[in-house]
């Protein structure tokens, strides 16, 4: 089942019958350029710094210059108006020395140095106290489109990524810029000067620079907003020595659960360069073969769980059977969607149910639902899967045309979106979201720009690999999966691989890292064991 590739389309929710409450699903803006366009948002008033003259300190007169010692003056009262105008940097400008901690420059590094490796992807998280600066944010071409106000992130983030292209970010013209379009930039700036220029522009969320030798020296500074880091979707590319710094905003990313399932994290890496190379699904996936409920996203304000289990086709390797979410980001509500049976129906979606706080919604096809408090906007309709991910048709989306799908926009600003393509027993899931400001982790990764620290072994070390306890499940009783979903039958994975014909392995054309080859080869051998066509993820 080959996934469609090509130019990304912006998903538009179709006009549908209303049940049980009318709502309007946010619609993404139509692309105006080769990359994802950005819907303009109202520009908030810029934050200006107000300075107050410090009290005049007492001076001890020099005896050799004054005939009579001056009496000790009383402290000069603080004026009620600012002193005569003079250049005063804003308190949040990172390269000037008033009294506040810079908002984005790591306090342990010299202002003109980026201590960063130039051969591997990396990141830097520096806790600090930050001011609030309203930023207009949109998903610019990703399926969930919204305009929201945000604050400078409490953990500034620096990535060894090149987010220069129009599909990776939207250019912002900083003061002193030359050039037009994606080439607009300020020449000959240090890293600290580049960040300061971004902070003075209320639209700028990030900067892109060619770091040169260990990040020192001067270079062209490009202001950016609406950063998208998912390389397979045409986002930022791993291309040292380019560095992208999230100055006052967080990036968008995608996590996908495809097939049986292969989970590619927010930090996934693409082999080759976009758009000349075809994106490869096996970008260091985490391969799930065991049943249970697992943490996909874990954060203080949001938890997303995935349910994995066995089907009548895949009896010994788990598939994705559902997804659920809860947290303060969505007002403390709980959303869940799962396969409940009976066993395979036609059409496939009839075996699925959705609940909001334990009560069924979207029971009819097609339908829409909006929660009274605006924390959920949901749609169940015919959609194009590749509008949400270039790989969303993997395994179960082989037929052409739009397919019955669910899309859920969570939170008051819809900055977290879950797309579900239901199959006869299993589903594909695409999670699109802005990196959470207080950090996150789970099988979708820690979203830190490092592609190789989200492996199963890494998750074990961070205490996140095991399934959650039944008492912590986010799925209500109404969404219990059919009997046997948690009981494997037939040959084990080891037996399937041991009996796999050499001709199958040689014809599978599997390549990449060990995890990538393992996922690809198991798909081919499982297909041969089950006696049906191999799952295709390309």
pLDDT digits (tens, 9 = 90+) for 147-189: 333 457 666 788 988 999 998 999 999 999 999 999 999 999 9
Res. 362: pLDDT tops 90: yes
Q: What is the pLDDT of residue 157?
A: 87
Dihedral angle sign, alpha carbons of residues 280, 284, 288, 294: negative
Res. 60: pLDDT tops 60: no
List residues bridging with 224 in a β-sheet: 171, 206
Instruction: Read off the tokens for 220.
Output: 């062209």
For the chain, what is the mean pLDDT?
72
Q: What is the pLDDT of residue 508?
A: 61
Q: What is the pLDDT of residue 502?
A: 82
Closest CA to 501 of 533, 531, 529: 529
Dihedral angle sign, alpha carbons of residues 33, 266, 434, 339: positive
Bond prior to 275 in cis (omega within 30° of 0): yes
Q: What is the pLDDT of residue 388?
A: 95
What percentage of the chain carries pLDDT values higher than 90?
40
- How many residues are recorded in the chain? 538
Confidence bin at 480 (pLDDT 50/70/90): very high
Confidence bin at 450 (pLDDT 50/70/90): confident
Res. 121: pLDDT tops 70: no
Q: What is the pLDDT of residue 232?
A: 63
Instruction: Read off the tokens for 493.
Output: 């994975």
Which of 70-74, 75-79, 152-156, 309-313: highest mean pLDDT?
309-313
Phi and psi torsions of 26, nearest 5°: -55, 140
Mean pLDDT, residues 191-209: 94
Confidence bin at 322 (pLDDT 50/70/90): very high
Res. 446: pLDDT tops 50: yes
| Cβ 537 vs Cβ 527: under 8 Å | no
Res. 206: pLDDT tops 80: yes
Closest CA to 330 of 414, 256, 443: 414
Res. 274: pLDDT tops 90: no
How, if at all, do strands 170-172 and 219-225 pair? antiparallel
3-class DSSP assignment, residue 472: helix
Res. 345: pLDDT tops 80: no
* pTM reported for the whole predicted model: 0.68
Res. 415: pLDDT tops 60: yes
> To which residue do tokens 């397979």 refer?
232
């Amino acid at each position: 089942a080959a996934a469609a590739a090509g130019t990304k389309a912006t998903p538009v929710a179709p006009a549908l019958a209303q049940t049980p409450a009318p709502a309007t699903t946010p619609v993404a803006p139509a692309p105006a350029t080769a990359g994802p366009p950005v819907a303009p948002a109202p520009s908030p008033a810029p934050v200006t710094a107000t300075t107050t003259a410090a009290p005049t300190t007492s001076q001890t007169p020099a005896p050799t210059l004054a005939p009579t010692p001056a009496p000790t003056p009383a402290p000069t009262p603080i004026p009620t108006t600012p002193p005569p105008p003079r250049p005063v940097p804003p308190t949040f400008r990172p390269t000037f020395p008033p009294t506040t901690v810079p908002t984005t420059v790591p306090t342990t590094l010299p202002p003109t140095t980026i201590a960063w490796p130039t051969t591997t992807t990396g990141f830097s998280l520096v806790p600090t106290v930050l001011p609030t600066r309203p930023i207009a944010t949109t998903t610019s071409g990703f399926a969930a489109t919204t305009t929201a106000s945000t604050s400078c992130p409490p953990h500034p983030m620096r990535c060894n990524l090149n987010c220069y292209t129009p599909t990776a970010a939207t250019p912002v013209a900083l003061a002193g810029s030359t050039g037009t379009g994606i080439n607009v930039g300020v020449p000959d700036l240090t890293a600290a000067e580049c960040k300061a220029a971004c902070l003075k522009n209320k639209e700028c969320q990030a900067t892109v620079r060619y770091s040169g030798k260990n990040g020192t020296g001067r270079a062209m500074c490009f202001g950016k907003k609406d950063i998208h880091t998912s390389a397979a979707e045409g986002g930022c590319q791993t291309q040292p020595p380019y560095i992208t710094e999230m100055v006052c905003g967080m990036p968008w990313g995608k996590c996908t659960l495809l097939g049986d399932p292969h989970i590619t994290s927010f930090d996934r890496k693409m082999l080759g360069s976009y758009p000349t190379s075809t994106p490869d699904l096996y970008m260091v996936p985490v391969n799930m073969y065991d049943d249970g409920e697992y943490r996909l996203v874990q954060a203080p304000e949001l938890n997303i769980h995935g349910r994995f289990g066995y089907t009548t086709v895949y009896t010994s390797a788990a598939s994705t059977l559902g997804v659920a979410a809860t947290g303060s980001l969505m007002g403390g509500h709980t959303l869940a969607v799962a396969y409940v049976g009976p066993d395979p129906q036609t059409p496939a979606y009839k075996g699925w149910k959705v609940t909001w706080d334990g009560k069924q919604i979207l029971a009819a096809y097609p339908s829409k639902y909006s929660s009274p408090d605006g924390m959920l906007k949901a749609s169940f309709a015919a959609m194009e899967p590749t509008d949400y991910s270039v790989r969303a048709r993997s395994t179960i989306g082989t037929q052409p045309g739009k397919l019955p799908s669910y899309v859920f926009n969570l939170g008051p600003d819809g900055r977290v979106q879950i797309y579900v393509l239901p199959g006869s027993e299993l589903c594909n899931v695409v999670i699109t979201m802005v990196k959470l400001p207080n950090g996150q982790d789970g099988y979708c990764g820690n979203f830190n720009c490092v592609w190789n620290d989200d492996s199963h072994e890494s998750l074990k070390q961070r205490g996140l690999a095991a399934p959650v306890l039944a008492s912590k499940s986010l799925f209500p009783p109404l969404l219990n999966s059919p009997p046997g979903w948690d009981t494997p039958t037939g040959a084990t994975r080891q037996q399937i691989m041991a009996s796999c014909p050499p001709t199958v392995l040689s014809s599978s054309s599997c390549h990449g890292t060990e995890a990538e080859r393992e996922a690809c080869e198991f798909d081919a051998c499982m297909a041969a064991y089950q006696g049906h066509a191999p799952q295709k993820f390309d």
